[in-house]
């Protein structure tokens, strides 16, 4: 199963976190075996850069020159040899049979030779080998913690902007650990559940959050009915920052401009319904708009879901919305724990296209915001080019019409526990919030609340 998922990820750009869970559910594997298959798949994908470097060194050829089905078999065995406690004999045998079954007898012989060479050193030995002659600190951290060097640099800059650069290794380690699973219990909807023997433990920060009980969350009736959702606490806080920035006035109009797959839209719809406001959701990609409709199905009436380019839609509706969520498409560098292959798939050249789109969407959202309304600019990336710089530029372009709100104060008023957020340099103008996996156990969400003056 792990091999098939890895083949789909490397061959067809599939997402492991979407492919694996349904396969596991269908497989009938015992919980221990399912956990083993998950670690095999996610661990191999997270460590891809390191394992490829080891395979290249052990085979004496660049990995691009190795047949893809053989390379994936080697990667899987390399992870078992260097990242798990699987016996060397079993790990080598399995890689050889996968290579032989998928690429013929010659490939089996090749895999055998490479894997035997890999067994000559342990993970620390291979790291030391690969680090020889590497002097750049970020290149070294990239090898040590299995991140592309450009991502290490971007994370270093984001931490440095908060004077927390000494936390870089802790962050890289957190990216390599499994995230804790949280539920959002949508306010105002029922969550009673026979499958839960004890009341759910409260989440650390989110006032509507709970720690997911062990096992598959889909066994909970509330999750199946969509009144509770698996959602990172950082995402919950981002939605609540908008809905609870100030008391809701009945009749307010809210817009979620980039809503797919609908996690924040569902929480916003619940909050809107409680306050007598109405939500409109929008999502460009039709398949993802479908997921938003499913997420909003528990509400009666369900908020409408449009399928438009967010910037165009917003530009056509000046001064129309009291609150707008702009959870912008981004590199996702703040959610690397969740998407094991994502770090290797994104390239630095993706950043300029994304930042151009983010700026366009933010300008549109500012247009669509009512004077005095609240706009949340959110990314699941801490990359400065996607966060502070986008906001700074948009505020500058708006020429005094847009002001930052004190987002830290809003979240301090919402969170169950203090978030220990640094006092930023833009304090006087209204702070942003940057959450971190290593500090908060959440995705690295960036949240900036903005408002607009009349005229
Ligand atoms: C970060 S995700 C939003 C996540 C969502 N808020 C949630 O909590 O489930 C960004 C979404 O924006 C969508 N998108 C990309 N370009 C867009 C555009 N020009 N207009 C509207 N949506 C767009 C993407 O398809 C993606 O679903």
pLDDT in tens, 215-233: 778 888 899 999 999 999 9
pLDDT at 361 over 80: yes
Q: Which atom of ligand 1 lies closest to the CA of 235? A: 8
Closest Cα to atom 19, ligand 1: which residue? 309
Residue numbering of the annotated binding site for S-adenosyl-L-methionine: 258-264, 283, 309, 327
DSSP 65: G
Ligand 1 pocket by Cβ (under 6 Å) = 235, 258-264, 282-285, 288, 309-311, 327, 329
Task: Indicate the range of 22-26, 291-295, 428-432 predicted with least confidence.
Answer: 428-432
Q: How many Å apart are CA 378 and CA 245, to the nearest integer?
A: 14
CATH class of the region 233-452: alpha beta
3-state secondary structure of 210: strand
Closest Cα to atom 6, ligand 1: which residue? 259
The Cβ of residue 163 has, within 10 Å, a number of other Cβ atoms equal to: 12
**Which stretches of 366-411 are assigned E, i.e. beta strand?**
369-379, 402-404
Between the CA of 235 and the centroid of ligand 1 the distance, in Å, is: 14
Q: Which atom of ligand 1 lies closest to the CA of 261? A: 9
Grade residue 25 by pLDDT with cuts at 50, 70 and 90.
Answer: confident
Q: Which of 342, 347, 329 is nearest to 150 (CA)?
A: 347
Taking the complete model, does pTM exceed 0.90, yes or no?
yes
Closest Cα to atom 13, ligand 1: which residue? 258
Mutate to test the pocket of ligand 1, among 182, 260, 442 (most ligand atoms within 8 A of CB): 260
Between the CA of 188 and the centroid of ligand 1 the distance, in Å, is: 26
pLDDT at 105 over 70: yes
pLDDT at residue 196, as a whole number = 61
Closest Cα to atom 24, ligand 1: which residue? 329
Grade residue 423 by pLDDT with cuts at 50, 70 and 90.
Answer: confident
Between the CA of 284 and the centroid of ligand 1 the distance, in Å, is: 7
Q: For the chain, what is the mean pLDDT? A: 95
Q: What is the dihedral of CA 337, 338, 344, 350, to 10 degrees?
A: -110
Q: Which atom of ligand 1 lies closest to the CA of 330? A: 1
Q: Are 55 and 118 in contact (CB under 8 A)?
A: yes
Between the CA of 146 and the centroid of ligand 1 the distance, in Å, is: 28
To the query of whether residue 330 is one of the catalytic residues in this protein, the response is no
3-state secondary structure of 198: coil
Average pLDDT over residues 155-162: 96
Average pLDDT over residues 295-303: 97
Average pLDDT over residues 335-364: 96
Average pLDDT over residues 292-313: 98
Closest Cα to atom 15, ligand 1: which residue? 329
Domain 2-125 belongs to what architecture?
A: Orthogonal Bundle (1.10)
Q: How many Å apart are CA 35 and CA 22, to the nearest integer?
A: 14
pLDDT at 426 over 60: no
Instruction: Out of 14-18, 424-428, 432-436, give the one with best mean pLDDT.
Output: 432-436
Structure-block tokens of residue 59: 């085979």
The residue from 238, 242, 354, 380 that is catalytic is: 380
pLDDT at 367 over 60: yes
Between the CA of 380 and the centroid of ligand 1 the distance, in Å, is: 11
Grade residue 415 by pLDDT with cuts at 50, 70 and 90.
Answer: very high
Closest Cα to atom 12, ligand 1: which residue? 258
pLDDT at residue 277, as a whole number = 98
pLDDT at residue 11, as a whole number = 94
Mutate to test the pocket of ligand 1, among 233, 258, 305 (most ligand atoms within 8 A of CB): 258
Grade residue 433 by pLDDT with cuts at 50, 70 and 90.
Answer: very high
Q: Are 307 and 281 in contact (CB under 8 A)?
A: no
Q: Which of 279, 391, 389, 274 is nearest to 325 (CA)?
A: 279
pLDDT at residue 455, as a whole number = 67
Domains in the chain: boundaries: 2-125, 134-175, 182-230, 233-452
Mutate to test the pocket of ligand 1, among 240, 259, 350 (most ligand atoms within 8 A of CB): 259
Q: Which atom of ligand 1 lies closest to the CA of 264? A: 8
Between the CA of 206 and the centroid of ligand 1 the distance, in Å, is: 23
Average pLDDT over residues 134-151: 96
Q: Which of 1, 6, 5 is nearest to 28 (CA)?
A: 1
pLDDT at residue 292, as a whole number = 98
Between the CA of 325 and the centroid of ligand 1 the distance, in Å, is: 11
């Amino acid at each position: 199963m792990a091999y098939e998922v890895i083949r789909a990820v490397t061959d067809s750009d599939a997402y492991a976190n979407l492919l694996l869970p349904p396969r596991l559910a269908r497989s009938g594997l015992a919980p221990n075996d399912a956990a083993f298959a998950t670690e095999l798949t996610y661990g191999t994908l997270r460590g891809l850069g390191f394992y490829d470097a080891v395979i290249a060194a052990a085979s004496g050829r660049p990995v691009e020159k190795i047949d893809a089905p053989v390379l994936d078999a080697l990667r899987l065995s390399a992870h078992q040899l260097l990242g798990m406690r699987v016996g060397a004999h079993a790990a080598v045998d399995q890689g050889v049979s996968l290579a032989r079954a998928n690429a013929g007898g010659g490939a089996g012989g090749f895999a055998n030779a490479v894997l035997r060479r890999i067994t000559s050193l342990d993970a620390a030995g291979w790291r030391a080998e690969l680090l020889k002659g590497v002097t750049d600190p970020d290149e070294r951290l990239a090898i040590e913690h299995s991140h592309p060097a450009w991502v290490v640099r971007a994370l270093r800059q984001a931490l440095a902007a908060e004077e927390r650069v000494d936390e870089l290794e802790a962050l890289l380690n957190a990216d390599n650990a499994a995230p804790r699973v949280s539920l959002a219990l949508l306010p105002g909807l029922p969550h009673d559940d026979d499958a839960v023997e004890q009341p759910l433990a409260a989440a650390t920060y989110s006032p509507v959050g709970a720690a997911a009980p062990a096992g598959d969350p889909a066994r909970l009736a509330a999750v199946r009915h969509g009144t509770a959702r698996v959602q990172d606490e950082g995402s919950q806080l981002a939605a609540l920052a908008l809905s609870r920035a100030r008391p809701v006035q009945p009749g307010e109009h809210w817009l979620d401009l980039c809503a797919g797959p609908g996690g924040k839209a569902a929480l916003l719809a619940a909050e809107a319904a409680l306050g007598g406001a109405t939500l409109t959701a929008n999502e460009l990609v039709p398949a993802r708009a479908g997921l938003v409709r499913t997420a909003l199905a528990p509400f009666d009436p369900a908020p409408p879901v449009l399928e438009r380019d967010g910037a165009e839609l917003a530009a056509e509706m000046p001064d129309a919305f009291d609150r707008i969520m702009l959870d912008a498409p981004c590199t996702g560098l703040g959610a690397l724990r969740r998407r094991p292959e994502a770090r290797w798939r994104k390239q630095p050249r993706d950043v300029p296209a994304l930042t151009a789109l983010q700026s366009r969407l933010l300008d549109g959202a500012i247009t669509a915001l009512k004077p005095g309304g609240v706009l949340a600019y959110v990314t699941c990336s801490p990359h400065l080019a996607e966060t502070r710089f986008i906001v700074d530029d948009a505020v500058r372009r708006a020429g005094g019409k847009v002001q930052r709100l004190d987002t830290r104060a809003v979240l301090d008023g919402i969170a169950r526990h203090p978030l220990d957020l640094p006092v930023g340099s833009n304090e006087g103008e209204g702070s942003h919030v940057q959450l971190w996996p290593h500090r908060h156990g959440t995705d690295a969400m960036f949240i900036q609340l903005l408002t607009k003056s009349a005229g």
